[in-house]
């Protein structure tokens, strides 16, 4: 039985509020903390952690990992920050597993070696800079924690998580995907973290958890839920283990992720129809936002007779020959 929920974690909202204040959140930026922004930008520009939009591997370290673990007190946040620093220095994520065994039970299915290599490789040779950047940013978040807390608590009073869960039918979404694709859903459940700060339609925190901007409402959340469950159906660990795709995951992890996103877009119309929800490709923000149309066209013209993972391998080779990945 899958465990599904709609939740609201404090840390992702705090972190995105910080990015706004620093001017690192694009059009969402307020930019009132210029002095700290300049300090961070001097160190972080080469890591894509600087104005106008923070991204790159540092984003995983400061947003995704702590956001998934959901610290509820500043002391716990600082403890997580120390573990993130250890991870940067050693490249080993097991210390986080050991400290939070209940919360990280499924991380070994997500933090496969290809993923770890993909975001640690750009940091090699620059670890002192990375640690300096993390120290500055985490210290800044510690300062913001108490001031933003009351504002977040006021928003929570208006947020009805139970109503969202009732309308999203998350277990039914997983069941419907399992009826459409070959493998079973690989994780124990799915959590949608609704955030009042971010404009994102879906920002992954880990194997079974995404952040969604509250402004999208339940209708927008339905599209994000269906898409993100679909992306997860093949399973990163399965792709990393299957003979047909194991080498591709090592050689071009990002390219394989694009295929996962495109496969979800390819299957979504059938899933949405079975759920009785409206879907139009013209309004699919994932398809157009990630520029997946070329991969989708290849997939639509492709009728593989082999299994899912053999299909991914053949699809990748065709996409590679056309410079789509």
Residues 9-56 pLDDT 10s: 999 999 999 999 999 999 999 999 999 999 998 888 877 887 888 888
Coil, strand or helix at 53: strand
* Sign of the Cα pseudo-torsion (72, 78, 84, 87, in order): negative
- In whole angstroms, give the CA distance from residue 208 to residue 107: 9
Q: Are the C-beta atoms of 119 and 57 separated by less than 8 Å?
A: yes
Place of tokens 């002192």: 128
In the predicted structure, residue 221 carries a pLDDT above the cut 90: yes
Residue 115 backbone dihedrals phi, psi, to 5 degrees = -65, -45
Asked if the model's pLDDT at residue 161 lies above 90, the reply is yes
Residues 202 and 20: their CA atoms lie apart, in Å, by 18
CA distances from 250 to 239, 255, 323, 324 (A): 10, 10, 18, 18
The pTM of the whole model exceeds 0.75? yes
What pLDDT is attached to residue 120?
Answer: 84
CA Rg value for the chain: 20
- Go through the chain and tell me how many residues it has: 325
User: What span, in angstroms and rounded, lies between the C-alpha atoms of 169 and 33?
Assistant: 41
pLDDT band at 302 (very low <50, low <70, confident <90, very high): confident
| pLDDT level of residue 301 (50, 70, 90 thresholds) | confident
In sequence order, what are the residues at sequence separation of 6 or more whose Cβ sits closer than 8 angstroms to the Cβ of residue 77?
A: 11, 66, 71, 138, 141, 142, 145
Q: What confidence tier does 303 reach under pLDDT thresholds 50, 70, 90?
A: confident
pLDDT in tens, 179-199: 999 899 999 999 999 999 999
pLDDT at residue 121 above 90? no
Q: Based on the number of CB atoms within 10 Å of its own CB, is 186 exposed (0-12), middle (13-18) or buried (19 or more)?
A: middle
CA nearest to 316, candidates 259, 237, 234, 260? 259
Cis peptide before 52 (omega within 30 of 0): yes
Least confident of 41-45, 70-74, 226-230, 295-299: 41-45
Give CA 203 to chain center in angstroms: 4
């Amino acid at each position: 039985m899958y465990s599904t929920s709609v939740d609201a974690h404090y840390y992702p909202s705090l972190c995105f509020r910080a990015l706004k204040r620093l001017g690192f959140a694009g059009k969402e930026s307020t930019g009132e903390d210029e002095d700290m922004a300049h300090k961070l930008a001097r160190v972080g520009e080469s890591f894509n952690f600087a104005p106008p939009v923070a991204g790159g591997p540092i984003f995983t370290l400061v947003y995704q990992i702590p956001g998934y673990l959901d610290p509820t007190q500043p002391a716990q946040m600082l403890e997580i920050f120390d573990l993130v620093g250890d991870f940067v220095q050693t490249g080993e994520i097991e210390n986080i597993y050991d400290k939070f065994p209940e919360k990280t039970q499924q991380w070994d299915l997500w933090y496969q070696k290809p993923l770890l290599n993909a975001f640690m490789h750009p940091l090699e040779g620059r670890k002192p800079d990375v640690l300096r950047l993390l120290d500055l940013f985490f210290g800044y978040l510690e300062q913001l924690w108490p001031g933003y807390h009351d504002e977040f608590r006021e928003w929570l009073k208006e947020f009805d998580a139970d109503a969202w869960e009732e309308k999203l039918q998350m277990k039914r979404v997983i069941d419907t995907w399992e009826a459409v694709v070959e493998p079973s859903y690989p994780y124990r459940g799915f959590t949608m973290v609704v955030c009042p700060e971010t404009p994102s339609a879906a920002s992954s925190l880990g194997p079974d958890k995404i952040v969604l901007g509250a402004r999208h409402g339940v209708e927008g959340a339905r599209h994000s839920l269906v898409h993100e469950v679909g992306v997860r159906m093949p399973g990163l660990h399965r792709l990393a283990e299957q003979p047909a795709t194991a080498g591709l995951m090592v050689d071009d992890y990002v390219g394989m992720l694009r295929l996962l996103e495109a496969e979800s877009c390819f299957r979504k119309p059938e899933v949405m129809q079975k759920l009785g929800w409206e879907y139009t490709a013209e309004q699919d923000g994932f398809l157009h936002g990630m520029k997946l149309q070329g991969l989708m066209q290849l997939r639509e013209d492709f009728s593989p007779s082999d299994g899912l993972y053999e299909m991914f391998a053949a699809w990748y080779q065709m996409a590679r020959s056309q410079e789509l990945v």
